[in-house]
Amino acid sequence: MNPHRLFTLRPPLPRLSPSEIGLWIAGALPLLLVALLLAALLAASPARASDIACHGENLLVAMEKQKPEELAKIRAEAAKVPNGQGIFWKVEKEGLKPSYLLGTMHVTDPRVLTMPKGAREAAATADVVVIESDEILDEQKAAASLLMHPELTMFTDGKSVKDHLDAADLAKLESGLKERGLALGAVARMKPWILASFVALPACELSRKAAGASFLDKQIAEDAVKAGKPIAGLETLVEQLEAMADLPVDFHFRALIETIALGDKMEDVIETMTELYLAGDIGMTMPFLKAVAPTESGEDESAYAAFETRIVRDRNLVMAEGSKRHLEKGNAFIAVGALHLPGNEGLVELIRKQGYTVTRIDG
């Protein structure tokens, strides 16, 4: 039987809601290091890549002119998010030196690397610097750890992406990867959440890192190492990938294909997310991502709920528990992805429930 006919007969994957796509994109960002480790194995060219510049535009600027009512709805939804404003927070309890909590964005954008006023000083005077995963400091060690769990990055059962996509979606994937300098044949056995980290980030972002630039979390850790400070991690890269692997593989493939369909718009999406981050408007991120594509009626929100629970809420609990021993000593500097901060089950609120006063200091 002609193998290509199998792809044609396979029914197309059902669409995801914008909520699902947006959260999936946000969830893929922490996999930047994994993507770059694999890119190195695929012999990506950092010299050529370093010349690529980002050209994204803030989509909210156009929305303000063309769809002011839609922007007003986004702002109204964002206003309901507890602790949705702010990326830099002071954590206090009587008898302890203050600690600090910084929401990060896992990118190399120079604007992001600048950090809000006072954050760099707080990190410099802290007794310990805590980040999501201290494995980001040693890429060789990280790669070795991932190689011990090949099932988290590759299909190990003889299958490949061709067993999960019909001909049309496979062509979209092949085209999207080609635009990023990758051949489908070279990555066909990779799990969709690994491919996600290639397509959910603009080529310029992957290129800057391939050329040697550090993303914010790594820069914070590197500065701490230079200052002789201890570094602590809240989770491992394997744990991050296990969280992704806990969800149905077809869910990831649906999100992968629909993210590719955004095409050049992804640069605009990342630029918009970056400007929201710089403004401290974290609560607007998810409402914005939901508005990137129109919502279809009758969509199943169960996959979205499962993703939000496993990738965001569960990890928030892990981070809050892991932060506890450092906060109890005082004078800690904790840096985690900004999307883990807001909400009733976000890190800001979870730390407050531990008996601390948590106050925004970046605005």
pLDDT over 90, % of the chain: 48
Tell me, yes or no, whether 2 lies in a domain.
no
- Does residue 26 or residue 224 have the better pLDDT? 224
Q: What is the mean pLDDT of residues 9-32?
A: 52
pTM of the model: 0.86
pLDDT band at 295 (very low <50, low <70, confident <90, very high): very low
d(CA 110, CA 93): 34
Averaged pLDDT of the chain: 83
Residue 231 CA neighbour count, 13 Å, CB half = 23
Quote the pLDDT of residue 145: 82
Tell me, yes or no, whether 192 lies in a domain.
yes
Q: Of 322, 331, 320, nearest to 355 (Cα)?
A: 320
Residue 328 has pLDDT above 70, yes or no: yes
Tell me, yes or no, whether 298 lies in a domain.
yes
Tell me, yes or no, whether 1 lies in a domain.
no
The total of structural domains in the chain comes to: 1
Quote the pLDDT of residue 17: 46
DSSP state of 224: H
Residue 16 has pLDDT above 60, yes or no: no
Dihedral pair phi/psi, residue 132, rounded to 5°: -60, -50
Tell me, yes or no, whether 77 lies in a domain.
yes
Quote the pLDDT of residue 298: 41
Per the CB < 8 A criterion, the answer to whether 282 and 103 are in contact is yes
d(CA 131, CA 102): 10
Per the CB < 8 A criterion, the answer to whether 127 and 331 are in contact is yes
Question: Is 248 in a helix, a strand, or coil?
Answer: coil
Q: Of 192, 208, 307, 205, nearest to 259 (Cα)?
A: 192
Quote the pLDDT of residue 265: 80
Tell me, yes or no, whether 156 lies in a domain.
yes
* pLDDT tens-place string over residues 208-259: 877 778 889 999 999 999 999 999 999 988 888 888 888 888 888 888 887 7
Q: Which domain holds residue 247?
A: 8-360
* pLDDT tens-place string over residues 154-193: 999 999 999 999 999 999 999 988 887 788 888 899 898 8
Tell me, yes or no, whether 288 lies in a domain.
yes
Tell me, yes or no, whether 3 lies in a domain.
no
Residue 29 has pLDDT above 70, yes or no: no
